[in-house]
Amino acid sequence: MTKEAAGRARPGRTPVPAGRRARPRQAEVARLAGVSQATVSLVLSGRATATGRPISEETRKKVLDAAHSLGYVPDPAASRLAAARNNLLGVYSFTATFPTDVRHSYYPFLVGVEQEAAAQGYDIVLFTGSSSGGAGAAGAGALNRVRLADGCLFLGRHVPVDELHRLVADGFPVVHVGRRDEVEGLAWVGADYVSAGREVVTALTGLGHRRILLVREDDDAPASTDRERGFLDGLTASGLPAGPNAVVRCGDPRREVTADRVRAWFADGVTAFVAEETDTGAAWRALRSAVAEAGLSCPGQVSLALLGSPPPDLADGPVPMGFDIPRPALGAEAVRLLASRIGGGAVGSTLVACTFRPGATAGAPATP
């Protein structure tokens, strides 16, 4: 007899008839296997064998067979609610993950994320953040959806600091892809632009260059700051002055890096130019065409380098000296860090090394 008096109509939701349900539940597996629902849970979660729980091999097999034949898959919401875990990793981008303009896409990161997540036994939930209007879009509480997963990766240039901080403060495992210091307690993985930038400069000084100019855009993203730091470190390490006139900041490289100015710099003794990679590749684009327009040969008269990868539409040109950001590796490392945080690991951020690319745009400076 059930615990409530029979025959009296009582409040509460009426159960869903098992007939019309697309997804089988543990109770159905249990029925089929002829065991209790709890036993099914024990067997399927692996907690039986793991914790040395006593489950007979026969029962195990019956349960597994039944589960398989029904196509049972645990409900992530229920698992999460009961056990606070469901083997789901979230990925949340503050801009569309698959933008129409492939240039700013997070695709290369996802390659690594996907692989490493699979290796660690997680499935990936792409939280459709700011892709467009709609239910899940911006607004307070948008980030809250990620709590369905065991932890979440965040990608993007602009971050809603407060909301993110709330997640972190609540102890929800979060890792940001890209260095990000403005959110307290936030773990991140970033590319080591400082070392990579230094390496490019020392490669140039190794070839004999003594006057090298950095062309960067005029914003203060961590990535830009780090690249400049590496550039200056490289100069210093080579015994060259790392003064402010080694760097040109320009709001609009196309207008400010002209053939005339390049000619003037060259006349002034500059033999190598370094551009930073940005979303649009504007600095590199401007530098390239200004040099060509100035009639200077590369790498004959001037050497060029790019702190990053060229934009896709310039992929056909000569491979620039510079470095590649190991985006898949960054994604994979982020997953590793997140998995560790989910497992109770400490907050720790990581830098991933970039790989130097000799390219074909740098050579020894012409001796005058």
Partner DNA sequence: TTGTAAGCGTTATCAA
Partner DNA sequence: TTGATAACGCTTACAA
Question: What residues line the site for DNA (CB under 7 A)?
Answer: 3-4, 9-16, 21, 23, 25-27, 34-39, 41-42, 44-45, 47, 53-56, 58-59, 72, 74-75, 78-79, 81-84
Distance CA(261)–CA(213), nearest Å, equals 12
User: What tokens were used for 282?
Assistant: 């504007």
Q: Between 303 and 342, how does the x/- string for binding to a copy of itself read (CB under 8 A)?
A: -------------------------x--------------
The single-letter code of the amino acid at 83 is A
Regarding 126 and contact with a copy of itself (CB under 8 A), the answer is: yes
Shortest approach of a copy of itself to residue 64 CB, angstroms? 11
The answer to whether the CB of 233 falls within 8 A of the CB of 198 is: yes
Distance CA(266)–CA(243), nearest Å, equals 18
**Total number of residues that touch a copy of itself (CB under 8 A):** 65
Shortest approach of a copy of itself to residue 274 CB, angstroms? 28
Q: Between 210 and 249, how does the x/- string for binding to a copy of itself read (CB under 8 A)?
A: ----------------------------------------
Residue 39 contact, options a copy of itself, DNA, none, Cβ 5-8 Å cut-off depending on partner type: DNA
Distance CA(39)–CA(240), nearest Å, equals 72
Distance CA(117)–CA(115), nearest Å, equals 5
Residue 114 contact, options DNA, a copy of itself, none, Cβ 5-8 Å cut-off depending on partner type: a copy of itself
Cβ proximity to a copy of itself: between 95 and 202 the closer is 95
One of 110, 187, 232, 354 touching a copy of itself (CB under 8 A): 110
Distance CA(155)–CA(17), nearest Å, equals 42
The answer to whether the CB of 167 falls within 8 A of the CB of 143 is: yes
Report CA dihedral (168, 332, 140, 165) to the nearest 10 degrees: 20
Q: Is 132 helix (H, G, I), strand (E, B) or coil?
A: coil
User: What tokens were used for 363?
Assistant: 């050579």
Cβ proximity to a copy of itself: between 143 and 213 the closer is 143
Chain center to CA of 17: 43
- Nearest C-alpha neighbor of 262 from the set 275, 277, 251: 275
The single-letter code of the amino acid at 71 is G
Regarding 127 and contact with a copy of itself (CB under 8 A), the answer is: yes
One of 77, 161, 292, 366 touching a copy of itself (CB under 8 A): 77
The answer to whether the CB of 194 falls within 8 A of the CB of 229 is: yes
Shortest approach of DNA to residue 30 CB, angstroms? 7
Q: Is 347 helix (H, G, I), strand (E, B) or coil?
A: coil
Residue 68 contact, options DNA, a copy of itself, none, Cβ 5-8 Å cut-off depending on partner type: a copy of itself
The answer to whether the CB of 45 falls within 8 A of the CB of 72 is: no
Beta strands in the chain (DSSP E): 88-93, 123-127, 151-155, 174-177, 187-191, 212-217, 247-250, 272-276, 303-307, 321-324, 350-352, 355-357
Regarding 20 and contact with a copy of itself (CB under 8 A), the answer is: yes
Q: What does the DSSP 8-state code read for residue 47?
A: H
Regarding 259 and contact with a copy of itself (CB under 8 A), the answer is: no
Shortest approach of a copy of itself to residue 182 CB, angstroms? 21
Residue 120 contact, options a copy of itself, DNA, none, Cβ 5-8 Å cut-off depending on partner type: a copy of itself
Residue 324 contact, options a copy of itself, DNA, none, Cβ 5-8 Å cut-off depending on partner type: none
Q: What does the DSSP 8-state code read for residue 149?
A: S
Using the contact rule CB under 8 A, the part of the chain among 17-25, 185-193, 194-202, 227-235 near a copy of itself is 17-25
Cβ proximity to a copy of itself: between 76 and 318 the closer is 76
The footprint of a copy of itself (CB under 8 A) covers: 3, 16, 20, 22-23, 68, 71-78, 80-81, 84, 86-88, 96-100, 102, 105, 107, 110-111, 113-115, 117-129, 131-137, 141, 144-145, 147-148, 166-167, 170-173, 328
